[in-house]
Amino acid sequence: MSEQTANNIEQPTVTVVMPLYNAERYVADAVASVMAQTGVATELIVADDGSNDRSAEIVEKMARDSQGRIKLLRLKHGGVSKARNGALDVARGKYVMYLDADDMLLPESVKRLTDVAEKLTATDHPIIVAGMTLPGRDYKEAINHESREPGAMETVGPERAIELSLYRRTPGLDSSMSSKLFSKELFDDLRFRENTRFEDLDLYYRVFGKASGGITLTDIPVTFYRMHGESFTHSWSEGQLDSLAVTRRMMQRLGDKKRLARAVADRRVSAAFRLMVVMARCGEKNRRAMRACRLIIKRHGASTFMNRQARLRNRVAALIVSLIPMKR
């Protein structure tokens, strides 16, 4: 692993971790959005995952003019988890945030999350502050629509936060690492699982479980999520099947808690049904994968159908798939 940076800067309060792979169309905007943050000492660690386009060169040039605020790590290709882990190993901030190379931070979002966090850390318990993600295609439009002042806040305990995030009904509370400020100590003994997809879903609930200071929900707009057709979730690959393995491990870890077990069952149904839809849309005829999805839905279908907290789509899918006989 090679590392490039300018002169050392002051001890950063926040480290922004950005994995990078072949994002030459977007990365300059992403980096610029971090550099535009004011009011809190922020470092950006870009972990290049062996890009074969101009991505790393673009960041390298921007790093030279950053007064040491940008650090570029050049890694052999090993996936987004390995890239993030490499950045975490050298992160110096009290807090950590995650930003994908095709997304952008909204103005002053780092300071606004940090201001909330600093008011919550008097007891020295690790905390998470969650903001909002604004999807779209126009960054300027996202800025114009974001609220300038943070409004209501609510702090929930780790177990309740995990439950709510699994149902994905609470704005800002989800399995994504984006739009959240984490106490760095939460990652002292946790890292992203390498050689698997859905790495956020695989890790987030374990991080939530360590946040003894709670997870604070805010309506602070944090991330502009760029919508385009190049996302992994919009196309079929064998890596899509990792969602089934990730939710299986989740059930193994959380299944002894009744409320969480019901929530995980619903998430497993959701993952299986989404895979069935992706395969159908892409014309993928993987009978083994389709059968695995149907078995999951049949196993957890009754629980999801009777669960009023589950999304209506999942409840309908559970009912329909459960009624269709399985072919041998």
- Reported as a single tens digit per residue, the pLDDT across 45-96 is 999 999 999 999 999 999 999 999 999 999 999 999 999 999 999 999 999 9
Q: Give the per-residue pLDDT at 153.
A: 84
Domain termination site, one of 209, 226, 243? 226
239 with 221, same domain: the answer is: no
Q: Give the per-residue pLDDT at 150.
A: 55
181 with 293, same domain: the answer is: no
90 with 203, same domain: the answer is: yes
Q: Give the per-residue pLDDT at 152.
A: 66
Rounded CA separation 18/11 (Å)? 19
The boundaries of the domain holding residue 24 are 2-226
Of 88-97, 221-230, 270-279, the range with the lowest mean pLDDT is 221-230
Rounded CA separation 97/92 (Å)? 12
Q: What is the mean pLDDT of the chain?
A: 90
Percent of the chain with pLDDT over 70: 91
Q: Is residue 94 part of a domain?
A: yes
Mean pLDDT value across residues 168-180: 91
List all residues 6 or more positions away from 148 whose beta carbon is below 8 Å from its beta carbon.
none
220 with 241, same domain: the answer is: no
Percent of the chain with pLDDT over 90: 76
Q: In terms of C-beta density within 10 A (0-12 exposed, 13-18 middle, 19 or more buried), how is residue 149 classed?
A: exposed
Domain termination site, one of 226, 261, 282? 226
Q: Is residue 276 part of a domain?
A: yes
Decide if pLDDT at 4 tops 90: no
101 with 14, same domain: the answer is: yes
Q: Is residue 275 part of a domain?
A: yes
Domain termination site, one of 194, 226, 258? 226
Compute φ and ψ for 174, nearest 5 degrees: -150, -175
167 with 314, same domain: the answer is: no
User: Does residue 58 or residue 287 have the better pLDDT?
Assistant: 58
Q: Is residue 259 part of a domain?
A: yes
136 with 43, same domain: the answer is: yes
Decide if pLDDT at 208 tops 90: yes
239 with 306, same domain: the answer is: yes
Q: Is residue 216 part of a domain?
A: yes
Decide if pLDDT at 166 tops 80: yes
Q: Is residue 328 part of a domain?
A: no
301 with 182, same domain: the answer is: no
Q: Give the per-residue pLDDT at 227.
A: 78
Confidence at 7, pLDDT banded by 50, 70, 90: very low
Mean pLDDT value across residues 291-298: 93
Q: Give the per-residue pLDDT at 6.
A: 40
159 with 260, same domain: the answer is: no
Q: What is the pLDDT of residues 315-326, one digit of tens each?
A: 999 998 888 876
Report the candidate in 93, 97, 67, 95 with the shortest Cα–Cα distance to residue 84: 97
**pTM value surpassing 0.85:** yes
Q: Give the per-residue pLDDT at 170.
A: 87
10 with 96, same domain: the answer is: yes
Q: Give the per-residue pLDDT at 212.
A: 93
Q: Is residue 255 part of a domain?
A: yes
Query: Structure tokens of 151?
Result: 């409004």
Q: What is the pLDDT of residues 225-253, one digit of tens each?
A: 987 665 555 577 888 999 999 999 999 99
Contact 72, 48 (CB under 8 A): yes
Please state the domain count of the chain: 2
Q: Is residue 158 part of a domain?
A: yes
Mean pLDDT value across residues 122-142: 82
Decide if pLDDT at 148 tops 70: no
Q: At what angle do helices 199-210 and 242-254 cross, to 10 degrees?
A: 20
52 with 12, same domain: the answer is: yes
CATH of the domain at 186: 3.90.550.10
